[in-house]
Structures are given as C-alpha cells and as structure tokens.
A and B are shown apart, each in its own frame.
Chain A
Amino acid sequence: MSPPTIRFSLNGHARELEVDPAHRLIDVLRDDCGLTGTKEGCSVGVCGACSVLVNGEVVSACLLPAPHVDGASVITIEGLAQGGALTPLQEAFITEGGFQCGICTPGQIITATALLTARPKPTDADISEWMMGSLCRCTGYHGITRAIKKAVEG
C-alpha cells in the first residue's frame, strides 16, 4: 500500500508529490512545498487565515484532505503577484491600512481576490457575505473593507 501521489498546479507550476492522506492541503503547502504564506489559525475552518484558491474557489486549506487537490489548480498568497508586481487589491491593503500584525492577511487577500473575481462590483452585502468568517483581531475590519472597495474603484 503506497501513499497517494498528487499531481496539481501550484501557483502556475506543475507539482507532483506523495502525500500522507491524513494530511491536509495546508500541510502540503507549508511543509512539503515550503510556502508558509498560508497560515494555520484555528485548524477547524472557522477563522479564514488558511484560505487558498482551489480551481478558482476559495476554501480552507486546513479542511481539505491532501489527496483532494490531485488534478486541481491551487493558488496561494505567494501566487497572486505577477513578476513582482502586487495586484491592485494587494496595493490597496497597503494604502488603506488593511493589516496590522499580518497573520490573517494572506487569507483576507485570497478571499477578497475570490470575491472580486466572482463579483467585480460587489455590494456591501456581497462583501459581508464573502468576507464573513475571515477573522481579524487587529484592524476592526474597516481597513479591510476600504481596501476591497479601493481595489474595485481602481
């Protein structure tokens, strides 16, 4: 009985690894792939810190069994900026005070990226619905919301 092998695209690069099926995607990202931008906050899928995009949809990497990314395309926080250039959303997080300690920030940005892809002109209700469950202990959330709106305006 050999460990399952997963073949997936990680931030645009093809990867192939053997995984322990008891591991989650977050274990693969942080430990096997060395991408520590995705943070483990609560381990139970409630806080949003570990949000990543799998086939364009935002999921909690701490809840996804590692074998479940076989054949999928995964984007982490490290994969958003292209050629060193931050996305407009990432720039907005900087200018609008969207983070303080930074621990929730990768998750916030990934989730907001998914939001803006699905709803390029989100209403306040859309923002609430999508960002709900992306917890921040520092900012009080207004900076995050401002950053999202700034990215929409351009």
Chain B
Amino acid sequence: MKLAQRETIAAPAARVWALVMDLEKAAGCVPGITALTQVAPDRYRGSLPVQIGPVRLVLEGEIAVTARDDAARRATLRADAKDSRLGGTVRATIDVALAESGASTELRVDGDVQIAGRIGEFGQPVIQRKAGQLLQQMAACLGRMAAT
C-alpha cells in the first residue's frame, strides 16, 4: 500500500531537518504513541493504539533510520510493528525528503506499507484511509513543532 503526504512548513529547511532526524521528537508526533524508548542510536521502540470504528489495535514495534543524507536532506525510515491482540503485522518503509521554498519547507513523506494477518483482512481501503490520516496528523505536528 502506497501512501504519500506533502506538508508545507513555515520554517527553514535546516530547522525542519533537525527536527525530523531527532527521532524521539519526530516519533512523538505520531498521534497517540506511548512508551517511546530508545533502543539504539537512530532506533526507538514504542506502542501505538489505533482505532478504526469498533476495532481497536495496539501496534507495538520499532522505528529506525536506515539511510540518511544530511546534505540532500533525505532519509529512509523503517517501521516494524505487531498487534498482539488481533494478530497481525505492519511493516513500513518511509522516505522523507525536504525541499526548500523561500522561508518555507515542503516536507515530503512517501511510504510503502505492508500489512499481514488479521488487520489486513479488515479491508485495505479502510486501513489506507486511517494510515493516510495518521501521516497527515504527523506531518501537521512536525510542521507546528518546526514553526515554533
């Protein structure tokens, strides 16, 4: 499942980049995330409750930076999570890139999400919409954080 999000942030690119690459701060922008702990440099573990209608999941997993280019301001993150309540896994590869545009920055997030198990049976379109919402909220949060 492919996801894409674009957000214009009223802050210079250098500041946005620093924020995005500060994984603890960036992960804090995932709505609802809890128990965020550092496992290794550039790797964090956390717990994310997600609700889609009557269905409640708790995704537990890790997010890590697997590639970064500070000069070009591009990076790749990898997230692996499991939902033990329903039985299912989520694996996402997320490419982040910044483009400067005057005093603003365009944040580009492109994700490839693979869902397996029970969660997947619920219906890709519903999940896609939910994932898109999460991504949009995250980007907006990063934007607010960077602009202050």
Direct A/B contact, Cβ within 8 angstroms = no
